[in-house]
Amino acid sequence: MPIKWSAVKVSEAMDEVEQQVLLADSFIAEARVKVAQARKIANLPQYIDQRLCRLDDQLERLDYIKQAITRVRENIPAEAIGAEREQAKYGSQQSLV
């Protein structure tokens, strides 16, 4: 049964999202290093260390974003992408339904 949405467009959108996330990846990794360094400051009060831990947890969410992109890709029917690309070779035709 053919799908009514464009699997190719969703796949291309995930490629673009992934590119943006990869751009942010090195900056986020550097920020996490700086947070770790801040946590090693002598005589740091516990309430500040807790805030820094929370910040590090927030920065770690980039990994969850990458997993979400992967899950979207896994849910795109592979045969739909191939069929849509094959159909595009022959041009588009208005559906009568």
Query: Which pairs with CB-CB distance under 8 Å and at least 24 residues apart come from 53-56?
Result: 56/32
Task: Please check whether residue 27 lies inside any domain of the structure.
Answer: yes
Task: Please check whether residue 65 lies inside any domain of the structure.
Answer: yes
Q: What is the pLDDT of residue 95?
A: 59
Assess contact for 14 and 73: CB atoms under 8 A: yes
Task: Please check whether residue 64 lies inside any domain of the structure.
Answer: yes
Q: What single DSSP character describes residue 4?
A: S
Task: Please check whether residue 96 lies inside any domain of the structure.
Answer: no
- Total domains in the chain come to 1
Task: Please check whether residue 87 lies inside any domain of the structure.
Answer: no
Spacing of C-alpha 50 from chain mean position: 27
The answer to whether the pTM exceeds 0.95 is: no
Give the pLDDT means over successive 10-residue stretches in the chain (97 positions). 83 95 93 97 97 96 92 90 79 62
Task: Please check whether residue 1 lies inside any domain of the structure.
Answer: no
Task: Please check whether residue 35 lies inside any domain of the structure.
Answer: yes
Task: Please check whether residue 41 lies inside any domain of the structure.
Answer: yes
- Domain with 30, as residue range(s), is 7-76
